[in-house]
Amino acid sequence: MENALKTMKIFILLLSMVVRSSQLTLNECGVEARRPQYNDIAVECGTSSITLEIKLCPVIYTGYNESLLILNHMMQSECRASLETSGGSPVARFTFPLNMTHACGSVFLTTSAAGTGVFSDFSNIQTVNISGIVRSVDPTTGTVTYNAELKYYYSCAYPLEYLINNTQIDVSASSIAVRDNNGTFISTLSMTLYSDENYTEPLIIPEAGIELRTSVYVKVKATNLTSQYHVLLDRCYASISPLPTNSSFFNLFVPCNKDRLTTILLNGEAQEANFKFQAFRFIEQQNETVSTYFLHCITRLCERSICSTFRDCNQRRKRSTLETSDVESTDTYTLTSPMITTASDTSSSKEQAAVADERSDSTAGLGAAVGVLAFVCIVALSVAAIFYMRLRN
């Protein structure tokens, strides 16, 4: 009896979905009335949500409509498809947030692998794969049906390791059909420089550069990020060139090793990470008026429950220095940041000015001595001439 009531409720629900459907007809589809194909689904892996678009005419051709396409067996209204006809071919559109508790039944799977390229210093690079299926529900009653079952699979892969600098990053990505698709959280990350420990006053760098040993406060922040992730800085470094390839660089910190004048204040414990360092200059720029360099950070989004394992030096590979080949940049994650300029050593400047003044005084003294000597010579010649004239007379 209970099973019969459950079946009746499902049947009534399906009938109500058919009544609420758009009633798009095959005649309106024209040449697009055909059997379904593998490329009938488009997947957009966004920064805060995933959007699926399924061509609707093949669905209608098979005997269904957008109300009979169910996402991961979820019947809630927010997980249902809506009809979209403004883009040309009509589509059934699903949009759901990237949140483990509100992703309309999507499966979240985190995998780990050894890093390569710019991430080769790390033995545990994580990727989150979000996947699921859209199935058709057959409203046919009776013993047999002539409607084929429809299945549309989707998958989005989100890396959790990024190379950023103090430029806001905006990236969008999309792919098509049942192939795996790549998305990114990278547009939710930003890096800002401050001059105070409360992170309220943005750092303003004058044309002459900031003084050596000035404290620079750095904040890396994630916004519009689902709550299960925290921000973890794996490595931050400075390089003379905007792109670190073939450029001198200096590590502020790498896994389990940091410069003595760098202090990590907050890392892997919230959706922002903070650290500070003291302004320095590159020795190879010692003949320059100011030393200029760029700041880069490799940033991980880690699940809150396992962030602590990435801070455990006993469970990760560490390297105190990196070869230049290890920091080669990729087009995907490397951006150019504004320059940091450091003023030259003020004591050296004063010493050079004193030497210049001393040379100026020496030159002036030599000129005065030459002038006096010339005057004496002129007077002596005049006296000799007068004496000679008197002797002749």
The answer to whether domain 22-139+148-184 and domain 188-313+330-343 are alike in fold is: yes
- Per residue in 107-155, pLDDT (tens digit) is 999 888 877 776 776 777 788 899 999 999 988 888 888 888 899 999 9
Instruction: State which CATH number among 2.60.40.4100, 3.40.50.10950, 1.10.287.990, 1.10.3720.10 fits the domain covering 188-313+330-343.
Output: 2.60.40.4100
Percent of the chain whose pLDDT exceeds 70: 67
CA distances from 17 to 11, 21, 34, 67, 378 (A): 10, 6, 23, 5, 120
Dihedral class, residue 30 (left if φ above 0, else alpha if ψ from -120 to 50, else beta): left
Residue with the larger pLDDT of the pair 303 and 188: 303
Q: How confident is the model at residue 223 (pLDDT cuts 50, 70, 90)?
A: confident
Closest CA to 50 of 59, 41, 58: 41
Polymer length in residues for the chain: 393
Tell me, what's the pLDDT at 389? 58
Dihedral sign for Cα 369, 375, 381, 384, please. Answer: negative
Output the pLDDT for position 175. Answer: 24
DSSP 249-272: EEEEEETTEE-TTEEEEE-SSSSE
Residues 6+ apart with CB under 8 A from 189: 162, 164, 169, 220, 221, 222, 231, 299
Can you give the pLDDT at residue 346?
52
pTM of the model: 0.61
Q: pLDDT at position 29, please?
A: 85
Q: Tell me the average pLDDT of the chain.
A: 75
Higher pLDDT among residues 322 and 291, named by residue: 291
Percent of the chain residues past pLDDT 90, beyond the cut: 26
pLDDT in tens, 339-387: 788 887 655 444 444 444 444 454 545 555 555 555 555 655 565 555 5
| CATH fit for domain 22-139+148-184, picks 2.60.40.3210, 3.40.50.150, 1.20.120.1080, 3.40.50.300 | 2.60.40.3210
Look up residue 185 and give its two tokens. Answer: 């959280």
Amino acid type, 252: L
CA terminus-to-terminus distance, the chain: 160
Q: What is the pLDDT of residues 190-202, one digit of tens each?
A: 888 999 999 999 9
CA–CA distance from 216 to each of 21, 137, 211 (Å)?
59, 59, 11
- The H-or-E segment that residue 61 falls in is helix 56-62
Domain boundaries, the chain: 22-139+148-184, 188-313+330-343
Burial class (CB in 10 A: 0-12, 13-18, 19+), 174: middle
pLDDT, mean of residues 305-325: 59
Q: Burial of 153 by CB count in 10 Å (0-12 exposed, 13-18 middle, 19+ buried)?
A: middle
**Token match 């990590």: residue?**
264
**How many C-beta atoms lie closer than 10 Å to residue 146's C-beta?**
8
